[in-house]
Structure 1
Amino acid sequence: MTPTPRLSRAGGAPVSVSFEFFPPKTEEMERNLWTAVERLAPLRPSFVSVTYGAGGSTRERTHATVARILRETDLKPAAHLTCVAASRAEIDTVVRGYHEVGVRHIVALRGDPAAGPGNAYEPHPDGYAFTADLIRGIRAIGDFEISVSAYPERHPESPTWDVELDILKRKVDAGATRAITQFFFDNDLYDAYVERVRAAGIDIPILPGILPVLGLAQVKNFAARTGATVPAWIAHRFEGLEHDPATRQLVSAAVAAEQALDLVDRGVTDFHFYTMNRADLVYAICHLLGLRPTPLAEAA
């Protein structure tokens, strides 16, 4: 199946999307994941990524999920991989395993501190120290597409923009082919970030990461760990909806679609959605972007 961009609105620029899923921990979560995959697959995403837990805690489940996507769907999966709590030999074995089952896209990340949030990151003594090292290791094993993370508001550990951009440049010089941003809610931050990246001579695609707000408390928790800002207007939009999930979902779809459509007006054509394994909300947003499902017979 070859992904085909669709018009974002009548006469508008073509839009393509990709989706992030996380590997399930229980049978119920497994059902939810595959419901989401089956619901979103007809939108023909350019790729779908599967996350990888801190310290390799989901390594086997991530691999199993990616392998099943390859086996049972026409989607192109991208497997997340981190440097945390694993030796080079262990990580190389994982990369070779992905290559053997047909995966040709890896999302390479340093990873969060193995000791948990609030602790300093410490490289494994026999591992890849940072993302650029991991990328070079992946490149030595096979010809992979390699996506990396990007931070419109700077990574919490980057003291200056010069440091932030230098880290991204090292990833690109090592072989990264695409960057996906951490979620953000102020599109001016994304524009300013892309401008900084281009001024630094970095020309890989920078996909905006869009996170629909499933719950305000959850998003604030994510933001605290990643250095993202949750504006007061976001909190106001969801005020009083803690025990009203139906209305909250409608508001969430509207907020995310508003953000995405504004980015389209600014010239953005590629979007990455953090689905949280919830299909209906992301499907609705994609519908508002102008994407329509295509039967597999037509997509083949």
Structure 2
Amino acid sequence: MTLASLYQSNECAVSFELFPPKTPEGVDLLCKNVERLMQFGPKYFTCTYGAGGSSRGTTLEVLKKVKEITRLPVASHLTCVGSTVEDLTGYLQQAKEQGVDYIVALRGDPPKGTDQFEKTEGGLKYANELVELIREKFGDLGIAVAGYPETHQEAVDFDTDLANLKRKVDAGADIVITQLFYDNSDFYRFRDACNAIGINVPIVPGVLPVTNFKQAQRIASMCKASIPDTLQSAMTENDDAQHQFRVGVDHAREQTIDLLKNGVPGIHYYVLNKSEAAAELLDGLQMADASS
């Protein structure tokens, strides 16, 4: 089944993002959480890797385990950071040989300690170039690219960022998965703007169920996502861990219900290798398109 075809029914396609654990114990825990998340009928799992490609090998090992457990398609993140075209091609070949079905194609963040992306000699500068490489050499791999409802932190403005996204889609991306956001109106504004300039692939919202306010602040500062005043007030009125967990999960659940009512083709959950928050927010929800 192709990546795009997963989003062609009235059922909202759920997917989950993982990251490679640093210890064998972490891998065991991840596998247990993946098994728990299977009750929600995900269509696929994705896995990131460390800065500069530091854990690419572990990413493939994790995806191999996840595929063995779930029998579902899996997707590997891939960035241009610190890699030549030869490096990227080698990784893609290895990923394909190990059963990876899809690639989340990203330019990648600047290395730690710098605030500007620098192209590696013999490498690629933009994500659309990575999409072109995958399409040219590994045409049967599905491709997802990133979209930014509140604008990428390095973009000059919203319109410029949107034009960059269109280049990625025109290069051959199957779907767009968005950066996390806490206010659904930001997503709807972004989706409408995509439609207006002819981005016609599925736009999949990315949702992170935050479980404490410090986590929300840290992640928001990294990706320039704004925290609504209502969420901030609710999380900070009590520093009890269970209170903050409940507030964060309830907010993500409300986001999910509203997104379903507004006809999203799927939702991609950033679960941080845990299952408790995602399980609570999804419990009892009917993921069929509520707008139909």
TM-score by shorter chain over 0.5: yes
Q: 1:269 and 1:40 mapped to 2: Cα distance?
A: 19
Alignment-derived partner of residue 119 in structure 1: 115
Alignment-derived partner of residue 108 in structure 1: 105
> 1:119-268 alignment to 2 at 5 Å?
119-142=115-138, 143-242=140-239, 244-268=240-264
- Residues 268-295 of structure 1 deviation map (CA, whole Å, 9 limit, x = unaligned): 2411100011112101212242269xxx
* Contact 2:14-2:266 at 8 Å conserved across structures: yes
Matched, 1:88 2:76: no
* Contact 2:27-2:62 at 8 Å conserved across structures: no
Gap change, CA 1:236 and 1:28, over 3 Å in 2:
farther
* Contact 2:46-2:77 at 8 Å conserved across structures: yes
Normalised to the residue count of structure 2, the TM-score between the two structures is 0.91
Deviation, structure 1 residue 32? 2.2
Gaps of 5+ in 1: 6-12, 293-300
Report the residue type matching 2:133 in the other structure.
G
Report the residue type matching 1:164 in the other structure.
D
- Residues 22-55 of structure 1 deviation map (CA, whole Å, 9 limit, x = unaligned): 1101233223211111101232211110012220
Alignment-derived partner of residue 75 in structure 1: 72
User: In the comparison of the two structures, how many residue pairs are matched?
Assistant: 282
> 1:268-283 alignment to 2 at 5 Å?
268-283=264-279
Q: 1:137 and 1:204 mapped to 2: Cα distance?
A: 19
Among 35, 40, 45, the alignment partner of 2:42 is 45
Q: 2:222 and 2:257 mapped to 1: Cα distance?
A: 27
Between 1:155-164 and 1:194-203, the stretch displaced more is: 155-164
CA RMSD of aligned residues (A): 2.1
Normalised to the residue count of structure 1, the TM-score between the two structures is 0.88
Identity over aligned pairs, percent: 37
Alignment-derived partner of residue 296 in structure 1: none
* Contact 1:210-1:273 at 8 Å conserved across structures: yes
Q: 1:32 and 1:252 mapped to 2: Cα distance?
A: 22
Gap change, CA 1:56 and 1:241, over 3 Å in 2:
farther
Q: 2:216 and 2:172 mapped to 1: Cα distance?
A: 31
Q: 1:259 and 1:210 mapped to 2: Cα distance?
A: 8
Deviation, structure 1 residue 162? 2.2
* SS, match of residue 283 in structure 2: helix
Gaps of 5+ in 2: none
- Residues 183-233 of structure 1 deviation map (CA, whole Å, 9 limit, x = unaligned): 111111111101111101110111111110122112212211212111221
